[in-house]
Amino acid sequence: MKKQLLLISNSTNYGEDYLEWPKEHIAGFLLDKNIKNVLFIPYAGIGLSPEGEKEAYNIYAERVRNVFAEVGIRSHSIHLEKNPKQAIKDALAIVVGGGNTFYLAYKLYKLRLMDLIKESVENGMPYVGWSAGANIACPSIRTTNDMPIVQPKSFEALNLVPFQINPHYLDVNPEGHGGETREQRIEEFLIANPGMPVVGLRESTYFEIYNDKIELKGSRPMRFFLYGKRPVEYNPGDDVGFLMKYQYQ
């Protein structure tokens, strides 16, 4: 068994503390492998401080460190490392937080970490990602909900799974909003990329993946989109193994 992934739609449900709902799932995923130290990648969290990138990462790292400590896991942020490449090579597991997916991709390419992370995870290093961290595990970041505040070297991502994830998937438009629904945006993606399936991953749900085995877990169904087909709902516990068998045309 090589690839070991936990891809989570969201970090925090409305009215809850940070990482409250997924922290036990994250702990189970890591501690079952006897992993008690992880490398955290905070690059998506650029908006956490108006004082700039470094302070934003300090804030993010502390938030994650405090929550992980509650479940017996030590978290160290890559932004504190003089040699980020070596930190990835030395890591027991990688945890990628949410935020702005475009900025996350921008930083991973700028620091030349994208290929290294991909290689490490494909060789067995456990990977945990929520929101942007889940989206970056896909073939590309083109199903993110985020504003493109920077232009990364490429929209291509880690390609650890053969399908796209749309995190925080919503079924309805807010009252008074006249723009496109999330489903319409995904349909636009499918028209432009007809060979690539998309999963609308609702909040409080996640994928647990071991090589080519995948399970949908959490409290809500996912919505599966494929070009030319009607969307299909799958509940946690349903067989979604077909997701790992797609080959992009």
What pLDDT is recorded for position 248?
67
Cα separation values, 116 from 77, 87, 149, 183, 197, Å: 17, 11, 24, 33, 26
- Residue 239 appears among annotated catalytic residues: no
- For helices 23-31 and 53-70, angle between their N-to-C axes, nearest 10 degrees: 70
- Residue 168 appears among annotated catalytic residues: yes
What residues pair up with 207 in beta bridges, in sequence order? 7, 216
Mean pLDDT of the chain: 95
35-84 pLDDT per residue, tens: 999 999 999 999 998 888 999 999 999 999 999 999 999 999 999 999 99
Catalytic residue chosen out of the listed positions 131, 154, 177, 239: 131
16-26 pLDDT per residue, tens: 999 999 999 99
Average pLDDT of span 79-98? 97
pLDDT-based confidence at 249, cuts 50/70/90?
low
Average pLDDT of span 215-229? 97
What does the domain layout of the chain look like in residue ranges?
4-161+202-222+233-245
pLDDT-based confidence at 129, cuts 50/70/90?
very high
Q: Which two tokens stand for residue 84?
A: 């980020």
What pLDDT is recorded for position 1?
60
Average pLDDT of span 231-237? 97
What pLDDT is recorded for position 174?
65
Measured CA to CA, the distance from residue 168 to residue 72 in angstroms comes to 28
Average pLDDT of span 104-125? 98
Q: Which of 102-116, 121-135, 177-191, 223-237 has the lowest mean pLDDT?
A: 177-191
Measured CA to CA, the distance from residue 166 to residue 223 in angstroms comes to 10
Average pLDDT of span 116-138? 98
Catalytic residue chosen out of the listed positions 75, 79, 140, 146: 146
Catalytic residue chosen out of the listed positions 76, 168, 204, 212: 168
4-161+202-222+233-245 under CATH 3.30.360.10, yes or no = no
What pLDDT is recorded for position 172?
72
pLDDT-based confidence at 247, cuts 50/70/90?
confident
144-200 pLDDT per residue, tens: 999 999 999 999 999 999 999 999 998 876 666 666 789 999 999 999 999 999 999
pLDDT-based confidence at 6, cuts 50/70/90?
very high
- Residue 79 appears among annotated catalytic residues: no
pLDDT-based confidence at 246, cuts 50/70/90?
confident
Measured CA to CA, the distance from residue 169 to residue 41 in angstroms comes to 23
Cα separation values, 247 from 8, 93, 110, 244, Å: 23, 27, 28, 9
